[in-house]
Amino acid sequence: YMADRISWRNVSLMPGVRYDYDNYLSNHNISPRFMTEWDIFANQTSMITAGYNRYYGGNILDMGLRDIRNSWTESVSGNKTLTRYQDLKTPYNDELAMGLQQKIGKNVIARANYVYREAHDQISKSSRTDSATKTTITEYNNDGKTKTHSFSLSFELAEPLHIRQVDINPQIVFSYIKSKGNLSLNNGYEESNTGDNQVVYNGNLVSYDSVPVADFNNPLKISLNMDFTHQPSGLVWANTLAWQEARK
């Protein structure tokens, strides 16, 4: 991983690049990173940030564990399993982020952030049974993709409240997430959970295969965080109270 910070007056640029080798899929992955920060009045009261990042990863280890398990599995009818995942690419996310930080009064900091994330080459699967050999063949591919919009607004103190030997750091966060993808929910579960099994969806007991694609909103979530730090001992007591609107 290489990164640098370049500053000129009240503007900073932070370019970087990361290299990873995925030995499970035998892929070389290069992730560019870039962030810019503008301190508008050069006193850290009003700041604008923007950035682009790429992250590699996904459900690769889950897929590997399934392969190991399935290689030892044979059904009572004599059916065997075969998994194919040749030439798979490593899933990755491209992320664009923008943020605004504003100091309000003497001791309150407000932050507004927006993140747009596109997931590419997500791993999905399809299965078929060879009638001649009675072998269930599962083939993995990179057909999955997801788009996510994330918004957040938070308020916190620049300096904690001091009560005797305890520092109190309150924070309130409002967040909203909207996501749309083309992967079915059962791609994230083991094969033993699919088929005739039933799950609860929208308050009803339905067949697992009838669960729709991953297109959902995780609408409004409000979190109140309260951290208490006892200075002499360094003991931190963290508390979070959250309310979340039902998914749509």
Residue 218, domain extent: 38-161+172-222
pTM, rounded to two decimals: 0.77
Find residue 48's DSSP bridge partners: 38, 100
Find residue 180's DSSP bridge partners: 147, 215
Task: Give the distance from CA 82 to its chain's centroid.
Answer: 30
- Residue 96, pLDDT > 80, answer yes
Four-point Cα dihedral 183, 200, 62, 74, nearest 10: -110
Query: What pLDDT does 189 receive?
Result: 41
Q: What is the pLDDT of residues 169-202, one digit of tens each?
A: 999 999 999 988 886 544 544 444 444 455 555 5
Residue 66 resides in a domain: yes
Task: Give the distance from CA 183 to its chain's centroid.
Answer: 15
Element spanning 61, H or E: helix 60-70
Residue 20 resides in a domain: no
Q: What is the mean pLDDT of residues 65-71?
A: 60
Residue 193 resides in a domain: yes
Distance (Å, whole) CA 209 – CA 96:
34
Residue 52 resides in a domain: yes
Residue 1 resides in a domain: no
Collect all residues with Cβ–Cβ distance below 8 Å to 131 and sequence separation of at least 6. Answer: none
CB 158 within 8 A of CB 225: no
pLDDT averaged over the chain? 82
Of 88 and 138, the structure prediction assigns the larger pLDDT to: 88
Q: What is the pLDDT of residues 20-32, one digit of tens each?
A: 998 878 899 999 9
Instruction: Work out how many domains the chain is built from and give that number.
Output: 1
Exposed/middle/buried for residue 144 (C-beta within 10 Å: 0-12, 13-18, 19+): buried
> How is the chain split among helix, strand and coil, in percent rounded to 5?
10, 65, 25
- Residue 211, pLDDT > 60, answer no
Distance (Å, whole) CA 149 – CA 178:
5
Q: Give the Cβ contact number of residue 231 at 10 Å.
A: 11
Name the nearest CA neighbour of 104 among 151, 158, 52.
158
Q: Give the Cβ contact number of residue 35 at 10 Å.
A: 18
Residue 235 resides in a domain: no
DSSP-derived secondary structure letter, 89:
P
Residue 209 resides in a domain: yes
Query: What pLDDT does 188 receive?
Result: 44
- Residue 17, pLDDT > 60, answer yes
Residue 26 resides in a domain: no
